[in-house]
Amino acid sequence: MVSELSQDFVHQPIQGCGPMVATFAQIVDLLRCPDDAEPLRYASGDLLCPRCARRFSIYEEDLAEILPSRPHALPGTVSPQYRNAYIEAFEQNYRDDETI
């Protein structure tokens, strides 16, 4: 039954797709701070957490880097290579490769 339902769902045409939201100001009610889950506010071109006062920059009006203030604790089963790469990637700041 589940596989039949899944197959029917896969073959249905996509309907009701609306246009993408134009600005963060329009979706800010959906966004939460990754550190304390407080709803974010749109303020002075940034996203702001009123509880911890973190600011999340908006780049080119359609990209925000909303990451926790520190890396997530990984399980002990994660390889040292992955763990090191994760920490290295986490510490990198956003960079627009087109402007370099």
The tokens describing 2, both together, are 């589940």
- Better-scored residue on pLDDT, 90 or 60: 90
Q: Which of 42, 81, 86 is nearest to 67 (CA)?
A: 86
pLDDT tens-digit series, residues 72-89? 899 999 999 999 999 999
Per-residue pLDDT tens digits for 32-79:
999 999 999 988 889 999 999 999 988 877 788 898 999 989 999 999
Per the rule left: phi > 0, alpha: psi between -120 and 50, beta: everything else, 29 is: alpha
Say what the alpha-carbon torsion angle 17, 19, 24, 30 is, to the nearest 10 degrees. Answer: -20
Would you say 57 and 76 are in contact if contact means Cβ atoms under 8 Å apart? no
**E strand spans, the chain:** 41-43, 46-48, 55-59, 63-64
- Domain spans in the chain, listed from the N-terminal domain onward: 18-93
